[in-house]
Amino acid sequence: MKRRDHLASLGLGLVAGALAVPAPAQARSTVELLARRKKITLPDLPTPGLTYIATFDLTDPAGAAAGVAAASTSIVDVTLDGPVILSQVVLQLADGEIHYQRMINRFGAFPRSSVGAILGGTGAYAIARGDVKITWPDQDTVAIALNLIEPST
């Protein structure tokens, strides 16, 4: 009996098949944005479970207006160094929205960086997926690099 047939008889055929076939290469595109903070409601002494918001103006790398963003954030832990946060972010661009989620340690020297998952979007980004790299050069500026996976045709 072939290994694949044996795994199928155990109910593992689909898993084995999925693992055995490499995923086709997918095209990616990168959208780069710079976010400048307008507002944040994070208190000086955060506690676990607390939520806060932040809003941002977005520009492209050349400085042209690109939209606005909002982040809804929950404090998931507080360490001696500072809070650990989980954020849901919406980027409102001229041709649609991109939604992503990330978790970071909000402490340490700048620059800080984190990664997140693109959850979806609207308009031109209705089937958006991929990942995002976020870098804070200072407390009021965020560099956002969205690595979008292009849909296969």
Residue 124 covered by a domain = yes
Residue 7 covered by a domain = no
Residue 139 covered by a domain = yes
Residue 89 covered by a domain = yes
Show pLDDT as tens, one digit a residue, over the chain (153 residues): 554 454 455 454 444 444 455 555 566 889 999 999 999 999 888 899 999 999 999 999 999 999 999 999 999 999 888 889 999 999 999 999 999 999 988 887 889 999 999 999 999 999 999 999 999 999 899 999 999 997 765
Q: What CATH number did the domain enclosing 100 receive?
A: 2.40.480.10
- Confirm whether pTM is higher than 0.85: no
The whole domain housing 135 covers 26-149
Question: Domain total for the chain?
Answer: 1
Residue 125 covered by a domain = yes
- DSSP annotation string for 131-152: EEEEEEEETTEEEEEEEEEPPP
| Structure-block tokens of residue 116 | 């997140």
